[in-house]
Amino acid sequence: MPKPNTSRGPIYLRTAVPAPLSQLFDYLPPPAHNGSAVQPGVRVLVPFGRSNKVAVVVATGTEPGVAAARVRPAIQLLDSLPTVPRPIMRLAQWAADYYAHPLGDVMHGILPPPARLAKPLPSPYPHRWRLAGGDAVAPQSRAPLQSRLLEQLAGAPDGLDADGLAACGGGWRRALAALVDKGLVEVSRHYAPPARFGKAPGGDPPVTPNAEQAAAIEAICTSLDEFGVFALEGVTGSGKTEVYLQVMHQVLQRGCQVLLLVPEIGLTPQLVARVRSRFRYPVAVLHSALTDSERYRAWFAAREGHARVLLGTRSAVFAPLPDLGLIIVDEEHDASLKQQDGFRYHARDLAVVRAQHAGIPAVLGSATPSLETLANAQRGRYRHLRLRQRTGSASFPVLKLVDLKRRPLREGLSEPLLEAARTHLANDDQVLIFINRRGFAPTLLCHDCAWAADCPRCDSRLTLHRGKKKLQCHHCGHSTAVPAQCPDCASEALSPVGEGTERIEAAMRERFPGTPVLRIDRDNVRGRDRLEQVLAQVAAAEPCILVGTQMLAKGHHFPRVTLVGVINADRGLYSVDFRAPEQLAQLIVQVAGRAGRAAKPGEVLIQTHNPEHPLLTLLIDKGYPGFSDAALRERRAAALPPFARIALLRAEANTVAHPSRFLQFVRDTYAAPASAGGVQLLGPVPAPMERMAGRYRAQLLLHSSARRALHDFCKTLRRDLEQHAQSRRVRWSLDIDPQDSL
Ligand code: ADP
Ligand code: ZN
Ligand code: ZN
C-alpha cells in the first residue's frame, strides 16, 4: 500500500491496534494533519470500539481497506519519530505472519509499558542540572540557597544530579526550579550507565584461546559483514563463553552493538558479571524480574545506542538496537526461549531471522544443541563449530548408570550413590544431587484406604511441602493445609510417597551429619541476591552437599563438585511428549557439566530402572553427539520435527464437552481442504493434563512435511476462527512449533 500521494485524496494510516484480530485498521490522520509526514512505526491514538487505543502505524497509503466513508480520523499522533524502528517493524511483521498471530498484539507486547500509554516517550534517565550556556562563573543570587546551588554547579561543568545537589540543603528542589525559571540553570537527562559499569575490569581477563576456540573466533569474525548462523557446540567448560566474549569484543570495537540472549538471567548472575567486568562498554540488562522502569531504561539505552551490549531474555530479541552487529543466543536448546502463552514465539528462531534481516552473524551456543539446530547444521544451513575439550586440566566427567531394579532404596537413594558420596566427601570434595521435583513428596497417601491428596482444580496430585507445612499444586498454585488425618477414613496413617528436593535434603542430612547440605530450588532460593548468596556459600564451603532442581543445571560453575547424582532418569524415558528424551539427555549433560570443572575429574551416577534403554546407553558411551545423531534418525523415521512441521490448536473451557466439540468442528470443516494442501489434522485429544486450574483442555495437532503448507493453512484457519461463532464458546490458541504437551 505505501505509495506517494500523487492524487489529491486523503492519506490513510494503516495501523496495528492492540486487539486479538489479525486485521489491520485504517484511520485518517488527526484533524489538522495531512498525514504526509507520518512514518511507519509511529504511535497514534485512535478510537476503537467504545474506547481509545494506542496503535502503531504500519503503512500509509491513498486507498483505504474499507469504504472511505467508514474511515474515522485518528485522535492524536503520539510520536514524531518512530517508536518502533524499521528493523523491529519488519521483525514484528515477520513474526506475526509466521506465528499466525495478530500484529496488533505482537506490537503491543514488544512496546515497553510507558510506550503503551497515550503520551510521548519519557526519558528514563536521571535529571542533571548545569549552568545555562555552560557558564564557568556563577551568576549571583540574593537568596542564600540559590547562591549555594549556583556555586556548586559552577564547580561541575558536566552538571550534577540530584544526589550532587541535595547537599546544598533542604528545599533545594524548589530553589533549583526558581533558577531554571530564571534561565540561569539548564536541565537535561543523560544516560547513566549502571553502577557496576566502570569498575576496574577484574577477575576475568581475556585468555589466549586454544586451537578450537581460535578457529571458532576466526570463523565468526571473518564474516561479520554478512548473515550467517554458527552453531557453537561445546561441553560445559569448553570455553564457549570465552568465544562469545572475544567475538563481542571485536564487534564492539567496530562500533557495533551486541545482543546476547539467555534463557533466564536470574539463573546466570555469573554471566552478567563476567560480561560487565570484561568490557569498558556499557552493558544493559533486560529481563522480567526487573521493575517496569528498569526495563524501560534498558530498552531506551539500547534504542538510543547508549548501551553497547544488551543482555536479555527472550523478549529482548525485539529490542531496538540501531547499530546491531551480532546476536548470540546462549543455551539455545533451552525451552524457556519459547514463549508459552499469548504470542508464542521462539526467541532463538527470531534471532536468526533478525540477523538475516540485518545481514549480520548469529551464534547459537550450547553444550547440548537442539535437534532443530543440529538438523540445520547437517543440511549445511548453519555452520557447525565444535569445542571438544574442556579448557585447562579439567576433563569431562565419567557417566555411569546405577541399575535400581531389586535394589533397596532409602528415600530414593541407592547404596552405590551413597557410597560414592561418602568417598567424595571424605576426599574433601563437594557432591551435587539433582532431582527435578520440588517439595518433600509428590503424593500424600492414606495407608489404610488409599485416599490421595488431589488438586481440586487439576488432574494432578498435591505436593507435600514439609517446610511450609502445606500441600501445593505445582500446576495451578492451589495450596492447602496438611490434614492431620485422612478425610475419607480418619486414619492418621498418611504417608508421603515419592521424593522431592526437600526429602533428599533431609535424607542427606541424616546420612551425613556434620556435612552442610544446601538446597537450591525455587522454594528455597528466591531472587537473584539469595542465589548469589547461596553460590558464595558453596564457593566458600568445605565439603558440602548440594541438592537441587534444574536451577542447578544452568550456568553456574561449581569447581569443587566432583560427584553428581541424578536421582531418577526414568520420567524422561516414557513421557508421551516426543521431546522428552531430548530434554532428558540435555539435562543430564548439563548437570554432569557441573562436575569436575577444576583439576579433579568428576563422576556422574544416574539412577534408573532402565539401564539398557538405548537413549541412556548411547549417551553414556558416545556422549551427546552420539545421542543426538540417533535421536535425529528417529525423528526422521517418525516424520517428527525438525523433519516435519507441526502446530497445535489448543482449546479450553469450563465444561469438558466444549473444547473437544470445538476442535471436532474444526476437524470436520477443515480436514479435507487441509489434506488437499498437504496438512494433516490429528485428534482432537484431551491435553496431557485435561483439567488444569478448573478448566478443561483439548488439542488438535496440525502436521505437514512442508513449512509453507502448514503456514498457509494456519493463517487461513486463524482468520476464519476469529470470525466464527463456534470459537466464542472456548478459549483457543494456535501454537506454531510447540515445545511441549504433545
Ligand atoms: P563454557 O562457557 O563453555 O562453560 P567458559 O568460557 O566459561 O566455558 O570457560 C570455562 C573456564 O575456562 C572459565 O573460567 C574460562 O575463563 C576458562 N577458559 C576459557 N578458555 C580458556 C583458555 N583458552 N585458556 C585458559 N582458560 C580458559
Ligand atoms: Zn484413608
Ligand atoms: Zn492444581
Residue 367 Cα: closest atom of ligand 1: 3
**Cell output for 115:** 510506550
Residue 210 Cα: closest atom of ligand 1: 23
Q: Who's near 144: CB < 8 A, 6+ residues apart?
A: none
Residue 204 Cα: closest atom of ligand 1: 16
Q: Which residues sit with Cβ closer than 5 angstroms to ligand 3, an ion?
A: 455, 457-458, 473, 475-476, 478
CA 421 vs CA 194, 430, 446, 547, 594: distances in Å:
43, 9, 33, 12, 16
**Cell output for 669:** 470443516
* Residue 651 dihedral angles phi and psi, to the nearest 5°: -140, 145
Cell 549502571 belongs to residue:
194
Q: What pTM value is reported for the model?
A: 0.90
- Whose alpha carbon is nearest atom 20 of ligand 1? 239
Residue 446 Cα to ligand 2 midpoint, Å, equals 5
- Whose alpha carbon is nearest atom 10 of ligand 1? 237
Ligand whose nearest atom lies closest to the CA of 448? 2
The reported pLDDT for the residue numbered 267 is 61
Residue 485 Cα to ligand 2 midpoint, Å, equals 8
The reported pLDDT for the residue numbered 394 is 66
Residue 454 Cα to ligand 2 midpoint, Å, equals 13
Residue in 559, 587, 165, 562 with CA at minimum distance from that of residue 391: 559
CA atoms within 13 A on the CB side of 205: 2
Residue 414 Cα to ligand 2 midpoint, Å, equals 30
Residue 659 Cα to ligand 3 midpoint, Å, equals 19
Ligand whose nearest atom lies closest to the CA of 475? 3
Which one-letter DSSP state was computed for residue 694?
A: T
| Ligand 1 binding pocket, CB closer than 6 Å | 207-210, 213, 234, 236-242, 391-392
**Cell output for 445:** 497417601
The reported pLDDT for the residue numbered 156 is 80
Ligand whose nearest atom lies closest to the CA of 689? 3
pLDDT in tens, 545-594: 999 998 877 767 788 889 999 998 888 888 888 999 999 999 999 888 88
Ligand whose nearest atom lies closest to the CA of 486? 2
- Whose alpha carbon is nearest atom 23 of ligand 1? 209
Ligand whose nearest atom lies closest to the CA of 554? 1
Q: Is the dihedral of CA 266, 270, 273, 278 positive or negative?
A: negative
**Cell output for 531:** 542465589
The reported pLDDT for the residue numbered 591 is 87
Within 256-408, strands assigned E span 257-261, 283-286, 309-312, 324-330, 361-366, 383-387, 398-403
Pocket test for ligand 1, best of 242, 387, 388 (most atoms within 8 A of CB): 242
Provide the β-strand partners of residue 312. Answer: 261, 286
Collapsing DSSP states into helix, strand and coil, what is residue 628?
A: helix
Residue 455 Cα to ligand 3 midpoint, Å, equals 5
- Whose alpha carbon is nearest atom 11 of ligand 1? 237
The reported pLDDT for the residue numbered 243 is 97
Residue 166 Cα to ligand 3 midpoint, Å, equals 52
Cβ atoms 102, 25 nearer than 8 A: no
Residue 237 Cα to ligand 1 midpoint, Å, equals 6
- Name the stretches of the chain with pLDDT < 50: 2-3, 5, 195-203
CA 669 vs CA 639, 666, 706, 715: distances in Å:
25, 5, 21, 15
Residue 667 Cα to ligand 3 midpoint, Å, equals 30
Residue 208 Cα to ligand 1 midpoint, Å, equals 10
Ligand whose nearest atom lies closest to the CA of 471? 3
Q: Which residues sit with Cβ closer than 5 angstroms to ligand 2, an ion?
A: 446, 448-449, 451, 486, 488-489, 491
Residue 235 Cα: closest atom of ligand 1: 3
- Whose alpha carbon is nearest atom 19 of ligand 1? 239
Burial of 393 per CB tally in 10 Å (0-12, 13-18, 19+): exposed
Pocket test for ligand 1, best of 218, 329, 391, 594 (most atoms within 8 A of CB): 391
* Residue 670 dihedral angles phi and psi, to the nearest 5°: -110, -10
Residue 387 Cα: closest atom of ligand 1: 3
- Whose alpha carbon is nearest atom 22 of ligand 1? 209
Ligand whose nearest atom lies closest to the CA of 555? 1
Residue 486 Cα to ligand 2 midpoint, Å, equals 5
Residue 478 Cα to ligand 3 midpoint, Å, equals 5
- Whose alpha carbon is nearest atom 27 of ligand 1? 391
Cβ atoms 308, 281 nearer than 8 A: yes
Distance CA 404, CA 327 (A): 44
Residue 236 Cα: closest atom of ligand 1: 4
The reported pLDDT for the residue numbered 135 is 56
**Cell output for 57:** 502505524
Residue 213 Cα: closest atom of ligand 1: 23
Residue 690 Cα to ligand 2 midpoint, Å, equals 26
Ligand whose nearest atom lies closest to the CA of 488? 2
Q: Who's near 139: CB < 8 A, 6+ residues apart?
A: 131, 150, 184
Residue 627 Cα to ligand 1 midpoint, Å, equals 25
Distance CA 130, CA 152 (A): 10
